[in-house]
Chains A and B, each alone.
Chain A
Amino acid sequence: DADVTQTPRNRITKTGKRIMLECSQTKGHDRMYWYRQDPGLGLRLIYYSFDVKDINKGEISDGYSVSRQAQAKFSLSLESAIPNQTALYFCATSGRDQYGYTFGSGTRLTVV
């Protein structure tokens, strides 16, 4: 099994729908992150969490929310999806020393 598992792998949804992307990890890491990748823009941080009771906004958090249900689970929600949220979304984890992130395989989200 992968260290960091993202579900679903691909999703097409309609404008205005609520959608949740899920991430679970078996690394035992405290820290978890959500990034989105857009061509030419690299990866941008949406939200991050250093433990279950700690949630922080990244550089592009508007339109997104997160939930850290357990140390191993960190989900990303789009309350009302819009087309410019079409992107590849990555979950990542790291230990407290931060030296090296482990990424999931990504969720490709298309909002039509």
Chain B
Amino acid sequence: AQSVTQLDSHVSVSEGTPVLLRCNYSSSYSPSLFWYVQHPNKGLQLLLKYTSAATLVKGINGFEAEFKKSETSFHLTKPSAHMSDAAEYFCGGGATNKLIFGTGTLLAVQP
């Protein structure tokens, strides 16, 4: 069975400081992994995706994530937070033809 776990339900950072949102996965197969962002009252937007081509994946808006098989992790990072990054972030994985999501991490960015 596959599962995706987001380790933090809330993360708060100051504008201009680094962002780290943590995601672990469990899968019997090599998974496809994704990060999505949801701004208030909006749908989900794909930030980036891992499909085994490269372990470090660069996404939109300066975000990136690194696939670490030894740690079964796919953490999302950004060097410098912007106020517009405040949103909810979802990690997802799909190894059996359907996407399973984590429970989400709400990112707050303080001025």
Contacts and interface: CB of A to CB of B under 8 A. Distances in A.
B54 to A, nearest CB: 14
Interface stretch (B11-19, B41-49, B73-81): B41-49
Size range of the chain A interface in the assembly: 20 to 34
Interface string A58-99: 100000000000000000000000000000001010100011
Chain B contact surface mostly:
strand
Contacts, number: 53
Chain A contact surface mostly:
strand
Interface in A93-107: 94, 98-106
B102 A48 contact: no
Interface of B: 6, 9, 32, 34, 36, 42-46, 49, 51, 90, 92, 94, 97-104
